[in-house]
Amino acid sequence: MEKKNVWETYSSKQLKDLEKLNQEYRTFLDKGKTERECIDYIVNTVEAEGYRELESLIKQGATLQPGDKVYSVWMNKSIVMFQIGEKPMTEGMNILGAHIDSPRMDIKQNPLYEEGGFAYLDTHYYGGVKKYQWVTLPLALHGVVVKKDGTTIEINVGENEDDPVFFVSDLLIHLSQEQLEKKAAKVIEGEALDIIVGNKPLLIDKKKSDKKDKEEKSPAKDAVKAGILEILKKQYDMEEEDFISAELEVVPAGCAREAGFDRSMILAYGQDDRVCAFTSLKAMLDTDKTERTKCCILVDKEEIGSVGATGMQSRFFENMVAEVMNLCGEYSELNVRRCLSRCCMLSSDVSSAFDPGYAGSFDKKNVAYMGGGMVLNKFTGARGKSGSNDANAEYLAHLRKIFEEKKIQFQTAELGKVDLGGGGTIAYILALYGMNVIDSGVAVLNMHAPWEATSKADVYEAYRGYKAFVECASL
């Protein structure tokens, strides 16, 4: 089948809309480098659009009517939004689901130490990464420190021009003969991904032997570490023990950038899967009241299997559906099950983009191309589709009809050659309810690297496709 380049299909107005959307997308990437930061941005955005907090409505004993907009946040890392439709929720919802966590390095709970005149923070990498990609880059530190009294300290260092940055060192090329003999997975070990955070010793006053002695200073014990602790105390009122109740993430420093002479691409950290989170959010906000209730869920922990209280495998989503149905006057255990089984969903996650430099890893007939439009992955998984949701043909035909009517450019793809493995998404978890689910997203080059690339056209087309879906899906 012929693959189109979507740039060739746009009118001048669409090109202006495309640039406006991508400018807003870059802002989202810059302000949301962690799950918590994404949630802050999203809550501010949806409240400005008239969404109300579900928990507050429950306490008020309020009821929901068609057109009402509500949201619920779970542990500051996941969020679900609903706009009530004209039809009863027992007839199902149209759901957009994506994840807002991305590969990174997390600071351990006892992280600060000194070695060889440097102060380090010990890290544990999160998600699937090529560890060698994370050395010698300017890095930023984002997150929160929660003190015993419940006070929350927000940390964001490395993004402003006058901020310091951090880095992981690497062995100089002149001494790296043995290192270069190692396999790529072993060139940099996980325990070597500790970030350097200081090199200046803290000096303390000596006691004077007599009045004529000049003032003298001497290094403190672990003087460089002591210097860092003094800075943390002064700037954040933070003690070393406060690392125990901290969630600090190490991410690449710097803002999202346009890429290429033609500015056709975006190069940024965290586009897996914030590109789909952003376009899903925008589609949700830019769609008027619909016949079916529409829903957008943006969750944590996908990169490590969707586990934990904030991952898709938790009961958060199901519980919130039950709460919304209760405010709509529709709740029963049976009605919740009927609602979930009759939903249509796009599991909005990225797909691997064809890379001509590594063409041997892809099936050229069944791979996503940058500039090819939004991507549909009938199945993902590894090798024999292990761990995959596999959408049925009837659902694919329904989506094809919608996209054709709305003139949405899409392509179908797999993640790579059959025996090379693959990836997972949240699709199989929602499919457990019996709903129709398919993976749909944006092609990404350099996936899981510190800097990933997307096509502006694909971002725009995904937004258009998600909007068409929530407006029209009804299978």
Domain with CATH 2.30.250.10 in the chain: 104-252
The residue assigned the tokens 């996908």 is 302
327-377 confidence digits (pLDDT tens)? 999 999 999 999 999 999 999 999 999 999 999 988 889 999 999 999 999
Domain with CATH 3.40.630.10 in the chain: 6-102+269-472
Q: Residue 229: pLDDT above 90?
A: yes
Distance CA 95, CA 99 (A): 13
Identify whether the C-beta of residue 358 lies closer than 8 Å to the C-beta of residue 446.
Answer: no
Three-state SS at 97: strand
CB within 8 Å of 357: residues ≥ 6 apart: none
Its CATH architecture, for the domain 104-252, is: Roll (2.30)
3-49 confidence digits (pLDDT tens)? 789 999 999 999 999 999 999 999 999 999 999 999 999 999 999 99
Copy the structure tokens of residue 422.
């693959």
Residue 217 has what pLDDT?
A: 67
Copy the structure tokens of residue 382.
């590894």
392-431 confidence digits (pLDDT tens)? 999 999 999 999 999 999 999 987 777 776 777 899 999 9
293-324 confidence digits (pLDDT tens)? 999 999 999 999 999 999 999 999 999 999 99
Q: Residue 291: pLDDT above 90?
A: yes
Q: Residue 211: pLDDT above 70?
A: no
123-155 confidence digits (pLDDT tens)? 999 999 999 999 999 999 999 999 999 999 999
Distance CA 38, CA 278 (A): 10
Residue 97 has what pLDDT?
A: 96
CB within 8 Å of 440: residues ≥ 6 apart: 346, 347, 348, 349, 374, 375, 376, 377, 462, 465, 466
Residue 414 has what pLDDT?
A: 85
What class is the 6-102+269-472 domain? alpha beta
Residue 252 has what pLDDT?
A: 98
Mean pLDDT score of the chain: 93
> Could you tell me which residues are beta bridge partners of residue 268?
452
Residue 212 has what pLDDT?
A: 54
Instruction: Give the C-alpha distances (Å, rounded to integers) separating 460 from 14, 16, 42, 228, 336.
Output: 9, 11, 19, 44, 34
Residue 420 has what pLDDT?
A: 73
